[in-house]
């Protein structure tokens, strides 16, 4: 989802090096004005939270159920972004 969001933002000439900046810009540029459903922005925000836990947390972990939930949202995310990039 992160790389899809990056591609969408690049289409507007926007480039960011941090995950948090990409996610924020996706919300500002596409979700807030209603270009993409707000749910897509929520999906990527929650996936980023899981990534941070998986990469950096010693006390928490991302369970199988949570990982499967993130994977379940990926096709919808891909479909919306593909449609926007095809324009």
Q: Which domain holds residue 6?
A: 2-85
Q: 36-45: per-residue pLDDT in tens?
A: 999 999 999 9
CATH of residue 47's domain is 1.20.120.330
Q: How many domains does the chain have?
A: 1
What does the DSSP assignment read for 27-77? IIIIITTTSS-HHHHHHHHHHHHHHHHHHH-SS----HHHHHHHHHHHHHH
Per-residue pLDDT tens for 20-55? 999 999 999 999 999 999 999 999 999 999 999 999
């Amino acid at each position: 989802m992160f790389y899809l969001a990056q591609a969408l933002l690049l289409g507007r000439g926007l480039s960011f090096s941090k995950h948090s900046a990409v996610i924020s810009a996706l919300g500002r540029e596409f979700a807030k004005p209603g270009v993409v459903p707000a749910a897509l922005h929520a999906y990527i925000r929650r996936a980023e939270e899981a990534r941070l836990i998986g990469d950096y947390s010693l006390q928490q972990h991302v369970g199988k159920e949570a990982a499967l939930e993130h994977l379940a949202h990926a096709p919808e995310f891909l479909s919306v972004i593909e449609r926007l990039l095809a324009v």
